[in-house]
Amino acid sequence: MLKKQLADKREQIFFAKITIAYKEARETQYWVKLLREVNLIDDAMFKSINDDCSEICNILAKIQKTVKSNP
């Protein structure tokens, strides 16, 4: 019983950390977009960083879904 409770708690903590990472990646996309809008980075740099952030967001979202769907 205790092992199950510990495993559940670890999963909750893991999910919370993945959620935070997802939100941070989305916030990074926001700031990169602002940098582009004020011409502090060029189109090539924006595309590279934005594509990386999108990929990270997709990976983290899939991890969230997997963790949620596994009881």
Domain boundaries defined on the chain: 23-71
| Identity of the residue numbered 42 | D
71 and 26 in contact (C-beta within 8 Å)?
no
- Gap between the Cα atoms of 64 and 35, Å rounded: 29
What fold, for 23-71?
A: de novo design (two linked rop proteins) (1.20.1440)
pLDDT in tens, 2-15: 888 888 899 999 99
d(CA 71, CA 61): 17
Sign of CA dihedral 44, 46, 52, 57: negative
Split at pLDDT 50, 70, 90, the class of 30 is: very high
The phi, psi pair for 42, rounded to 5°, reads -85, 175
pTM summary value: 0.86
